[in-house]
Structure formats: structure tokens, C-alpha cells
Structure 1
Amino acid sequence: MPYTKIDPGSTKQDARTGRKLHGPEKAAILFLCLGEARGSELMKQLDDNDIQKITRAVSGLGVIPAPWVEEVITEFSETVATGAGVVGSLAIAENMLRSFLPPDQVNSILKDIRGPLQERDLWTKLGTMHEAVIGEYLNREHEQTAAVILSKLPTEIAARSLAQLPLERMHTVVERMIRMKAVPAETMRHIEESLQRDLIANSTQQGSTEMQKRMADLFNKLDRDTFEALSHKLEQRMPEDFGTIRQKMFTFDDLLRLDLQSLARVMRALQGNVLPMALRGATTEMRDHFLAALPIRSRDMLLDEMNTMGPVRGREVRAAQSAIVDCARALVAQEVIRMPSAEDEEEFID
């Protein structure tokens, strides 16, 4: 008999006695109604904590009035009927089969079931991967293969992944998707095997790298005081992981590493009062670096604007600095400017 796990914290007051039945007591009544044999088999599916609670409840119930039994069974039936009930899985089904069928027969049955489940699992995993990873894979595949894969993905994921392709290739893939007919089963099997082997199997490492990038982006958005408070503990508890994340970060202070021509390119892309607001909260060294990248007239205008702004809120300064970082990172991604690498900055001694 399938079972539903009754919330141990739930209670229900018996209308005739006024006594409240608690979750373990209601579960104990259900077990007793099943009988010793079936109740014992069902008990094997519970964890030790639940077994202890139900055993304690069974031992303390004594004679159970008929209204209690009726009330618990009614509640159980209503719970199952409203869809809040049972849990099933391939593992549970396998355990049930192995309790009364020979191993060869069980394996034969499960072989037919696992195929469709594994196929769904592959596309589910693919749908959770970052679009940049999927796009990179599609860019290496034949256009028809890329079209088939995109046609199987949720449209939101497919759209973001498609946008990762070069424009000409994107056009070709979209045209193939529009003209696509039914894909032969053998072709689909080969595509799925390639995905499993070349992409899904490596998703653990890719997922780790992607999470590091996400954490670097998150840390970039934090104000300096919050980040410093976090980084102190992280450097002690997970120095290797945090060190890798920190290398991927691009903060406002990193703008000191830009050459003056690249920094001027960043400033030309800014709008409104972002630059003077950001520099109001910058160090003297950072201000001088920005000013050095400007012509004399533009420099004087920027200084005048900074001096006439009056008091500014710290959060507005941090937001402006974050906007400049986002702008610089976008220009780096577009290869308009380049951040110096560790090799570029290595010191040479005569």
C-alpha cells in the first residue's frame, strides 16, 4: 500500500474526547490498521527518527476508540485525494521489484524504463547549463546538429544560447530550424550520445567554473566594506577557492591597471554625472589616474563639477563606481580595451 508521510507537527482534536491526536499518533494508528505484516514492511521504508517516533506512539496508545480510527483514516484518504500524498521514484520501484522477482527479470524491466528517463534527464541537465557553455558547444557542431539541439531546448534557453553564435552562423542555424522536419531516431540517438559524452559528462567542472564567475560578479557588486568583511573570513576558511574567485574579479581599484588611452575610452562611454560621483569617493591615486587620462579642458570641467556637487551619499558613490566597472568590463568583453595580464605587469630588473 502506498503511504503518505504525516507531518509530525500536525495535530487534530478528536470531537468526542477533546484529546488532540499528534502526527506520530495518527501515523501509529494507520500502521496498526495495516496489520503487523504490512505495517512492518512499510516501517522499513522510514528513517530511524520516524521509526522511533512511531514506535513510541504505538506503545503509548493503548486501546484506540473507533472514532479515532475513523477520523485518522478519513483524514488520510482526504490528504491523498487532494494530491498531497505519495512519493514514487525509480529507486523505490526497483526495490519493490527485487523483493519478489529474479534479478535478470528486474534488469530487463528497468532497461525499458531507464531509457526514456535518462533521455529526459539529459535534456533537463542541458537546460540548466549556462548559455555560454551551450553556445560554445553549438559553435563547434554542424549547423544541422545545432539546430536540432536548440529545437529540443526550452525556448528561453535556446534563445540565449543562439545569441552566443556568430551572426552568419546564427542565420544558418535559424534557417535550418525553420525548415526542420522530423529527426530520425538514429540521428537523435547519436546527437544525445555526443551531448552526454562531450558536454554533460564535463558539466561538473564547467559548473564549478561558472559558479566562480558568478561569485566574482556578485562580489563586484558589493560595497567595499561588505566585501572586505567577507573576504577576511573567506581567505581563512577557503583560501584556494576564494583566491581563484578573486582573480576573476574586476573591481573599481583595478581601473588603475588600465593604460590612459583605455581609461579615456571608458570615460567617453559614461553618461550623466557617473564619473564625478564615482571620483568623489575615490582615493587620491585613483582620481589622479582618471584626471591624467583627460585633456586639460575636460579635466578642469570635471573638477568644477565635482566641487559643486556638495555632499553625496555613500551608496550613490558606490553605485557610480559599479557602473564604471560594468562599462569597463563590457568594453573588455567587446575587445575594445584590454586588461593587462599578470605577465604584462611582471617587473623586469636590469
Structure 2
Amino acid sequence: MATAEMQRANSQENAPRRRPISGPQKAAILFLCLGEKRGSSLMQQLDTEEIQHITRAMSGLGAISAEAVEEVMSGFSEEVTNGSGVHGSFTAAENLLRSLLPEDQVESILKDIRGPLKERDLWARFGSLNENVIANYLRNEHEQIIAAILGNVKTDVAAKVLPLFGKEKMQNVVERMIRMEAVPHHMMKQIEETLQADIINASAQPTKTELHQRMADLFNKLDRTEFDALSDGLEDRLPEVFGAIKQKMFTFEDLVKMDPRDLAKVMRGVAGNYLPTALRGASKEAREAFLQALPGRSRDMLIEEMETMGAVRRREVREAQAQLLDYARVLAEEDTIRLPINEEEDEMF
């Protein structure tokens, strides 16, 4: 007897120490043992914050030994010690949540569990890459990884990427996408971290088109005299590139080419004295086009404001005109107005 006790003591001393189980992990093991039906009724008694803590712990449990389960809840020892323990996974946590909470609340909790890298921004930026770039990046990956990644981008993006793999590989990836359940948390985290390092950071470098647009925006905000002084040299040294940049330029004077109703929307949305200041420094033709876009009473009020405001500095005029241009671009991005840029490309035949 003494020998047996000594052997057990030695065995316990030599056994690797298990990490202590936290409170949320103990609760997660309890819910896993209770199962979805009984666990659902118990979880309904908890608040959202408690549910988040337990679900987060459940998604990262992995395999739990029968010994650990018995330690957490001796009341269920008869059931769990006859088996091989339980297994916590993201899928188990998701199934339990969906059985007791509304869909929008479930998605909010799952999004929080997956961590900050699962934010829409990362997948939106990845999905905005050219389909050939995405396909080349994924080409040598395991088909299961490809399926997991394409399952997180927009369907129109995935539809462009899949055919680039060839018929056989596309077939295999699509089958895996159909059969695939929720991706385990640790795998999803690793995929997202890899995307962040390999694709998103690299894509931060501007493309030629983006660089041209940036230079066009810069030239738009330069004083006209300064821009004219630069133009001669750029025309001689970089004729093709400078020509492409000038096509993307959109100046204050170009605003008069807009539909009068769109121009009126721009004028109504600009705050403060920006509008009268901008028009004080505009050409006579541009000023008249702005005024004609307004109804009679608004036009008269604007004229009176311009006449009573006194002299304005050139710097103030440039700043005011830049404000109108920036606001016009915002409205155009929202599809509220249409800018007169590259209209020859939209010519109807």
C-alpha cells in the first residue's frame, strides 16, 4: 500500500503541470457538457457581456481531457469520465449561440471573438485588389485555405478569382467552400495575420493611377501662377505622364461644367463664407455660371454678401475654392452629383 502511494506521489510530481483553468473556461466546459438544448436555457439567464466571455473561452478551448472536466464539475463526472472528455471549438460556440440568441446579436459576438483582424476593413481591402493579384497570391495555397479566404470576400470578387485557377482546381475549391463549416478560430486568425503582412501592407504602395490622381489633386490646390510655372518644364521632360495627370485634374473653373442642379447642391452644402470668398476670386464667366444655378432670392443674397464682405486675400480664395472642390468630390463619391471628368468616355452613340 505504501509503495503504491509512493508511486502515485512520484507520478504526480513527474507529471507535467496543467495550466489553471479560468472561470470563463470552467463555465464553457459546463455548457459543452450540458449540450445545446440544456445549455441554451441556462445561458438565457446571462447578460451579453457574460455570454461574450464564455463564448470566447469556448472557442479557444480545444481538446479538454476527462480529468480536467471532472475537476471542473464533479456533478457530471459519471458521464464525462466514461468518455474521452469534450472538445471546444468555434463551431460549437457558434451553434450554441444560434440556438438561443437573435441573428444580429450572434454575429456581433462572433465578430468580437474572432478578434480585430476580422474587421470588415481587412477583407474589404483584400477584396478590392485586382482578381489576378488575388489569384496569383492564392495559387500555391492548399485548396482548403483558398476556400476559407474566398468564403470571406464578396461573392462578386470570388466569382472573378475562381476561374483563374483553371477548371479542375476551381471545381475542388468550390466543393470545399460548399462543404466547409465555420473555420476554427486559430486557423482564421493565422490566415488574417498572413494577409495583413503579405497583401495589405504591400498594397499600401500607390499604383500608377493612384499616384497620378494624387499629383492631380496637388496641382489642383496649387496657385495658378505656380502651376503655370511648373507646367512648361513638365511638358518638356515628362510629356506623357504630365498629360495623363492633367486629364485627372479638376479645377474650380471646371465646376461650371456641371449640371446647374448639381452645382446648386455643392453651393448649398458649403459652410461659412467659403462660397462668396471663392466667387470673389473667380473669373467673371465662372461667377456668372454659379449665380445662374441658384434661384432668384438665393442669388440676390449671395451677390449682396459678396459686395459687403470687402477685399479677400488670394490665399483665402484658394482655400475657399479648394473647399468647394473637396465637397463636390464627396458628393460625387456618394453618387449625389456627377463631376464633368472624362465625359468623352461616357459619350453615347
Q: Give the TM-score, by structure 2 length.
A: 0.45
Q: Which has the higher contact order (CA 8 A, sep 6+)?
A: 2
